[in-house]
Structure 1
Amino acid sequence: MSQSKICVPVTTRGNYGKFKSVMQAIVEHPGLELQLLVGGGALLHKYGDFVEDGELGGFEVESSLYFLLEGENPITMAKSTGIALTEFTTAFNSLKPDVVLTIADRFEELAIATAASFQNIPLAHLEGGEVSGSVDESIRHAITKMSHLHFPASEKAAERIQKLGEPADSVYPVGATSLDVINNLDMDDMESVESELRDKGVGGSVNLHQDYLLVIQHPVTTEYEKNREYIDETIQAIDDLEMPTVWLWPNMDAGSDAVSKGIRVYREHSNQEHIRWYTSLPIEKYGKVLYNSACIVGNSSSGIRESSYLGVPAVNIGNRQQGRHRGSNVVDVPHNCQEIKAAISQQLDHGRYPPDDVYGDGNSGDQVAEILSDYEFSIQKQLTF
């Protein structure tokens, strides 16, 4: 029996965490063959070069693709998308996959979807149908309309995909694949995490056996000019609280340079011994850091999705996750120092929440692989209304 070649492009450490269980299930499935591409921020030290650090879990990489331009502004983001389109077009032409698997809403994922669609390669899409702020909203739905098979993370997202005119028999709400890795972690085993934090971070030291905050704030692409102002409000709130904090660097979206500059200025001119800074953390260690934190603060989707599954209190700042379905563990605030501090204090007083399975139960990878092996793709797409 011939195997279907499933091409998985990994462009960030975060997306690797979401793809990992799916890739493992593909490797283990007798009817499927994995083609792994690595590119973008996944190859750059400033975003945590996990490929160089040997954190790809033994998966064989078919090709490495460089497409990111420096600057982290709207112009470089648009141009990087164009370069990514060229690079992935060439890679797909060489590998000739049977299916390309894309995910969510990043700008390079739009290039991946376009490269596959224009070459008549069936496209499967993880995490479509969700509502959020920023340009991510537009990108996600554009990818949905180019995709032939859909793996949304929730039932509500599945309903939206069908309302966009996609056939019901192409939509499989399997849950959030990132939960698969987290579901299998020993959350009480913090020894390896403590080693990671000690050896790779910078700044003060954080005792992971006491209450600490986890902060992740990415740029808001549709509010590009305000990103420095936004990060300064968050920095002031965390500085005022003086609570031990694990802080992860922003992603590579437009506005990242302003967020990074705000952090660098703070680090150079302030006493921040209560904060430990990291470019990123592997999903196996990040999951434990999130689970054991007293509260996650910022605007990452992790503060909506994984925190809900784990019952971790979350303070979501601003519009980046606007409209995304959330559990009862999330408190929403604007980019205002005083309101951020008040919300954090409120969440610390509340403590942990009951786990919520709105984004699945942590068993998605095997479902995705099985559906990929059986699904009969049709390149021709047509609205259902």
Structure 2
Amino acid sequence: MRRLLITTAGRSDYGIYHSILNRIEAEPELDYSLLVTGQHLSTAGGETVREIERDGRPIAARIPLPETMSNCAAVADAMAAALAGTGALLARGAFDIAVVLGDRFEMFATTAACVPFNIPIAHIHGGEVSFGAVDDSLRHAMTKMAHLHFVATDDYARRVRQMGEEDWRIMVSGAPALDTIMNANLPDRAALSSKFGISLDEPPLLVTFHPVTRQFGEAGHQTRALLAALEAVDHPVVLTAPNADVESDVIRMLMTDFVRRRPGRSWLVESFGALNYLAMLRESRAMVGNSSSGLIETPGFQLPTVNIGDRQKGRTRAANVIDCAADKNAIEAAIYKAIGPVFRASLASMANPYGDGHAADRIVSRLRDIPIDHRLIAKSFVDL
């Protein structure tokens, strides 16, 4: 039986893995364990490892990291701790393939730890660009360490080839999150309202906003602009807590104060969990923020999305995305356009550029069947 080690560092990647883990569990030739780290084990982040435990997923190791909310040095310390902890796990456990996803600093560190062990690395969601975040550099570095690439679109496959990767290593799988949207039994409106104590009598704006890590010092200004626009629109608002990047504490503080001033009209949820978050997209009138989920998952619900600022600059967009500057007036105008009936009606026949809902089948079949040999491990560089 082939053993996979799958790294999960937070609520967002765990949600994306959902369909892949289910597919692996149905495959008799594969076994897996999770390396759990990052925000999953953070008290401030809601200790989302509990969702993994409730799902009954096997955990190979838990690697706690220093809190990193407003401290660049703490991010470097966290990367060091993730790398060392992963190395200790690999030294005592035999794994055939390591599976990583995306571009987070925690994920980069666990990927780097696999290199001296010559463990083949499978990377999901490579080839993408997000100029506003330092994660952009980490993602491309992970591509060069990885041996298999599961990308979401043809354009992203082209970028991976441009980085010198051999064509046979690259598969256009689509985005795994779409599998869950199309196939999972999502919680209904009443269950969401009851579980999180939010009113869904009127479809809210769902806000997911994170620090723009290449614009250090701007988190406060940008968040104030966002919240001022939300106040001007005067619509019910459900905010999700920011991730663990530097300056996330500033965003969290401002969001908390915003919700306090708008009782019964605004709510801050630390972590919805994978399926509940998708259900919230279904129930919302529009999504507002700068999260990749606004580009990848929202098209599956034909949900209007206001994408603020530069954090996702460079990523493929569907017709439901309205880009705007991180400015109060620009955000307000974009929200009014998004919630207008004309724009929503224009999305009725839109296609999602990120896939067809069968990514997990493609990924797991490849992980099962690829020969683990010298050809896989000894990478060549393709000069264009």
CA distance in 2, matches of 1:188, 1:59: 20
Deviation at 1:267, TM superposition (A): 4.2
Q: Does 1:342 align with 2:340?
A: no
Equivalent position amino acid for 1:143 in 2: M
Match of 1:158 in 2: 157
- 2:102–2:126 CA contact under 8 A, matched in 1: yes
Call closer, same or farther: CA 1:144–1:300 in 2, change over 3 Å. same
Deviation at 1:9, TM superposition (A): 1.4
- 1:212–1:293 CA contact under 8 A, matched in 2: yes
39, 57, 60: which one pairs with 1:59? 57
CA distance in 2, matches of 1:137, 1:98: 27
Stretch of structure 1 that moved more, 145-154 or 30-39: 30-39
127, 130, 144: which one pairs with 1:129? 127
Report SS of the residue matched to 1:223: coil
CA distance in 1, matches of 2:252, 2:357: 33
Deviation per CA, 1:200-220: give whole Å up to 9, x if none: xxxxx422x423100000011
CA distance in 1, matches of 2:25, 2:187: 29
Equivalent position amino acid for 2:333 in 1: A
Call closer, same or farther: CA 1:177–1:336 in 2, change over 3 Å. same
Alignment of 1:193-204 (within 5 A): 193-198=192-197
- 1:41–1:68 CA contact under 8 A, matched in 2: no
Report SS of the residue matched to 2:55: coil
321, 325, 347: which one pairs with 2:312? 321
Q: Does 1:360 align with 2:355?
A: yes
Q: TM-score, normalised by structure 2?
A: 0.93
- 2:259–2:268 CA contact under 8 A, matched in 1: no
196, 206, 209: which one pairs with 1:217? 209
Match of 2:199 in 1: 206
Equivalent position amino acid for 1:132 in 2: S
Equivalent position amino acid for 2:42 in 1: L
CA distance in 2, matches of 1:328, 1:52: 36
Call closer, same or farther: CA 1:17–1:222 in 2, change over 3 Å. same
- 1:304–1:330 CA contact under 8 A, matched in 2: yes
CA distance in 1, matches of 2:68, 2:352: 39
Q: Does 1:182 align with 2:181?
A: yes
Match of 1:305 in 2: 296
Call closer, same or farther: CA 1:66–1:147 in 2, change over 3 Å. same
Stretch of structure 1 that moved more, 346-355 or 154-163: 346-355
CA distance in 2, matches of 1:267, 1:59: 34
CA distance in 1, matches of 2:144, 2:159: 12
Gaps of 5+ in 2: none
Match of 2:243 in 1: 251
Stretch of structure 1 that moved more, 368-377 or 311-320: 368-377
Stretch of structure 1 that moved more, 118-127 or 184-193: 184-193
CA distance in 2, matches of 1:223, 1:364: 33
Call closer, same or farther: CA 1:310–1:61 in 2, change over 3 Å. same
Stretch of structure 1 that moved more, 148-157 or 35-44: 35-44
Report SS of the residue matched to 1:222: coil
Call closer, same or farther: CA 1:70–1:110 in 2, change over 3 Å. closer
25, 28, 39: which one pairs with 1:27? 25
Query: What is the CA RMSD across the aligned residues, in angstroms?
Result: 1.7
Call closer, same or farther: CA 1:154–1:68 in 2, change over 3 Å. farther
Match of 1:201 in 2: none
- 1:309–1:359 CA contact under 8 A, matched in 2: no
Equivalent position amino acid for 2:172 in 1: P
- 1:206–1:275 CA contact under 8 A, matched in 2: no
Report SS of the residue matched to 1:296: strand
Identity of paired residues, percent? 31
Count of residues in Structure 1 that have an aligned counterpart in Structure 2: 375
Deviation at 1:186, TM superposition (A): 4.8
Equivalent position amino acid for 1:370 in 2: S
Equivalent position amino acid for 2:310 in 1: N
Equivalent position amino acid for 2:254 in 1: G
CA distance in 1, matches of 2:162, 2:68: 38
Call closer, same or farther: CA 1:196–1:292 in 2, change over 3 Å. same
Call closer, same or farther: CA 1:266–1:294 in 2, change over 3 Å. closer
Gaps of 5+ in 1: 199-204
Equivalent position amino acid for 1:211 in 2: P
Q: TM-score, normalised by structure 1?
A: 0.93
CA distance in 2, matches of 1:53, 1:283: 9
Match of 1:375 in 2: 370
